[in-house]
Structure 1
Amino acid sequence: MQIKLWLNGKMVTEDVAADMLLIDFLRAHGCFSVKRGCETANCGLCTVFVEDKPVLSCSMLVARVDGKKITTLEGLQEEAEDFGAFIADQGAEQCGFCNPGLIMNAIAMFRENPNPTDEEIIQYLAGNLCRCSGYEGQLRGIKAFLSFKKEKGGVC
């Protein structure tokens, strides 16, 4: 079947198998920030934006995104680098494997709720699995980033 979609701002038209997963399509197109983790939609490593909403690409057929806008971390470099530095400053990136999914979900949270409470942050990022840390560094990094944005007068 033929699909057309916008991938990080570029139109892509391709013939794909009806059972092809979005994660496999994205990785075949060089989007290596989209990682394969649990393959059961439980770890958040494969998070991408479909029409600006976070979805797990390991559990979505590429046929379902025909005609839609897909954004991976590669398409959000400036925004991701801005926030990622705050995570690194807190030592929360230990192995770094979970960072792309965490950053994608954090960016979605910043867009939907620019002033989240600690509980809201934890709830929003609950689907991101990190085996290296107790999530305290990520929480500190998110809070530091939000404080920085407030002081700067910017909106996340």
Structure 2
Amino acid sequence: MNYLPGAFDTPLWYIVMHLKGASGILTQKRYCDVLARRLNRDQANSLISVDDYLLLPDAMYLMVQEEALKLDLWWPAFRDQLLEELKELYMAELIAGGTAAPVVNLVWEPVTYELITGPEAFEHRANEMLFLPVRKGLAPDPEYYPYNSVNNKAGIDLQ
């Protein structure tokens, strides 16, 4: 790929978050909607922009570019608020399903992030995100996996 000069001057981050405590919820529509709403709101407010994403049942992969906020300011608030919204929705679902006094212990663990500094790193991570569902047996081809930037079933605005 040919990149414009200065394409990586604005910090671009590769973030991986694994969700523990509620197996498989990240690829369920109601939970994707919570994530998309939060990311799209932050993008509408020019806090960050999402270049690429992948949602696996228990993990989220994002390529996020800094805009008005640096990662260390945006990230903790986003991560913690998203987790609280997911917990509330999951708890309500358990109660509606008849679970008496449910205990919900959702945590992001582990969480990693890496600064993408050039085209090689970008291509490596973008390809990793594209083909991970195939390697995990979730789709025969990346084009058939709904929860990635290619198909965007989650409805996340992509820059």
Asked if Structure 1 and Structure 2 have the same fold, meaning a TM-score greater than 0.5 normalized by the shorter chain, the answer is: no
* Shorter-chain TM-score tier: under 0.3
Higher strand fraction (1 or 2)? 2
Higher RCO (CA-CA < 8 Å; seq separation 6+): 2
The TM-score with structure 2 as length reference comes to 0.27
